[in-house]
Amino acid sequence: MNVRVARAAWAWGRGVSCRRGASSFLLPPPGAVDVEELLRDATAAEEGPREASVRRLPGQCSVLLFPGQGSQVVGMGRGLLRYPRVRELYAAAHRVLGYDLLELSLHGPQEALDRTVHCQPAVFVASLAAVEKLHHLQPAVIENCVAAAGFSVGEFAALVFAGAMEFCEGLYAVKIRAEAMQEASEAVPSGMLSVVGQPQSKFTFACLEAQEHCRTLGIENPVCEVSSYLFPDCRVISGHLEALQFLQKNSSKYHFRRTKMLPVSGGFHTSLMEPALEPLAQVLKAIDVRKPLVSVHSNVNGSRYMHPEHIRKLLVRQVVSPVKWEQTMHAVYERKKGTEFPKTFEVGPGKQLGTILKSCNLQAWRSYSHVEVQEADEDLH
């Protein structure tokens, strides 16, 4: 991929002006800054003819990882505001969302930021703003990017980065997704439980017994399912709160070493989210989706997206399917023995994906860096 295409692909290069497309979100007010115009400088110098790109060695390439819901924290974005175009990005988000996302991200309160309807857009925008910081500090990382993956809502940010959808349309889809998932989560008391297990842990059996426990409490059609595969012997289990409480109380029976409730409001990536499917499917039909310019891996199966309809289909299915992150990491970093690993950058709040990568692939993790979004600058290596 040449420099012009790479820079055009990252985050917003294929359209951030919040103009009206097939979707129906609001236009920016008259005279509002056109973010796309602000971004053209990044690619203008490369518009002329270029020689064919030299094939890069694996160690010169990069992979970007985009975090998901649960990584949000008050103050995220503070470490990004000095970089070009970040404030314009948040201004564009204000127009799409109808509220001041930057104010909420910087000052909270945490309870409001943790609500699904707010934290999904907040993580999405902070992650793409972190890409702008990375582009400013190390443009070669963006130019040499060969793959991207995002955890749950982070997959939307990865696709925007890869040029598969425009920033504002991607954010609008996230807005509709978050609202629908918030509504679904309020219909049934549910949540997500992180479980660190052992090779002998009985995840499936534990979920079945937790469902049976719920039936004894009079709960019809109880849900308790593995909703994320994080790294070997570590899963997230989602479902009715009563089921998760049962698992915590009986964790030793199933050889669980540690359990922790996650700061989310519902049993995501399970059948409890079925009411959210139709609103998301409708908005994805309405927006312009393109083939990614770098490889983006799907949460549903770990495979690369191949064409726009593939993206639309799997982004909807992802809402009720387990996030196969461990499998995705294996797909992204699979290589012949002795081949160097690419540099990996986690762009967005928290370092959870780096921690998971360390457990999935220690060699790949040795080339990992995090792009700080909360405080002032840090050097990236």
Percentage helix, strand, coil for the chain under 3-state DSSP, each rounded to 5: 45, 15, 40
pLDDT surpassing 60 at residue 1: no
pLDDT of residue 97: 98
Looking at the structure, tell me whether residues 130 and 75 fall in a common domain.
yes
Write out pLDDT tens, residues 7-57: 444 444 434 556 433 333 333 333 333 334 433 333 333 333 333 344 667
pLDDT surpassing 90 at residue 204: yes
Specify if 304 maps to a domain.
yes
Asked if 23 is an active-site residue, the reply is: no
Question: 213, 241, 262 — which closes off a domain?
Answer: 262
Of 127-136, 332-341, 358-367, 372-381, which gets the smallest average pLDDT?
Answer: 372-381
Looking at the structure, tell me whether residues 282 and 362 fall in a common domain.
yes
Looking at the structure, tell me whether residues 229 and 164 fall in a common domain.
no
* DSSP line for 284-342: HHHS-----SSEEE-TTTSPBP-SHHHHHHHHHHHTTS-EEHHHHHHHHH---TTPPPP
Evaluate whether 51 touches 171 at the Cβ level (below 8 Å): no
Looking at the structure, tell me whether residues 179 and 117 fall in a common domain.
yes
Evaluate whether 147 touches 158 at the Cβ level (below 8 Å): no
Question: 216, 239, 262 — which closes off a domain?
Answer: 262
Q: Which residues of 291-327 are buried (b: 16+ CB within 10 A; e: fewer)?
A: ebbbbbbbbbebebbeebeebbbbbbebbbbbbbbbb
The catalytic residue among 118, 213, 269, 370 is 269
Looking at the structure, tell me whether residues 174 and 116 fall in a common domain.
yes
Write out pLDDT tens, residues 144-181: 999 999 999 999 999 999 999 999 999 999 999 999 99
Which are the contacts of 212, defined by CB distance < 8 A and separation ≥ 6?
none
Looking at the structure, tell me whether residues 330 and 285 fall in a common domain.
yes
| Number of domains, the chain | 2
Can you say how many angstroms the Cα of residue 109 is from the centroid of all Cα atoms in its chain? 22
Looking at the structure, tell me whether residues 125 and 88 fall in a common domain.
yes
pLDDT surpassing 50 at residue 319: yes
Write out pLDDT tens, residues 271-287: 999 999 999 999 999 99
pLDDT surpassing 80 at residue 216: yes
Closest CA to 21 of 144, 168, 159, 145: 168
Closest CA to 80 of 30, 47, 122: 122
Q: CATH code at 330?
A: 3.40.366.10
Looking at the structure, tell me whether residues 180 and 194 fall in a common domain.
no
Looking at the structure, tell me whether residues 78 and 177 fall in a common domain.
yes
Task: Give the domain range for residue 110.
Answer: 58-185+271-371
Looking at the structure, tell me whether residues 138 and 198 fall in a common domain.
no
Specify if 43 maps to a domain.
no
Write out pLDDT tens, residues 282-310: 999 999 999 999 999 999 999 999 999 99
Q: pTM of the full predicted structure?
A: 0.87
pLDDT of residue 19: 47
pLDDT class of 378 with cuts at 50, 70, 90: low
pLDDT of residue 86: 96
In the three-class reduction of DSSP (H, G, I as helix; E, B as strand; rest coil), residue 111 is classed as: helix
Asked if 135 is an active-site residue, the reply is: no
- In one-letter notation, the amino acid at residue 24 is S
Name the one residue in this structure whose structure tokens are 């690419």. Answer: 342
Question: 237, 262, 287 — which closes off a domain?
Answer: 262
The catalytic residue among 62, 152, 298, 369 is 152
pLDDT surpassing 90 at residue 131: yes
Looking at the structure, tell me whether residues 307 and 289 fall in a common domain.
yes
pLDDT surpassing 80 at residue 226: yes
Looking at the structure, tell me whether residues 176 and 156 fall in a common domain.
yes
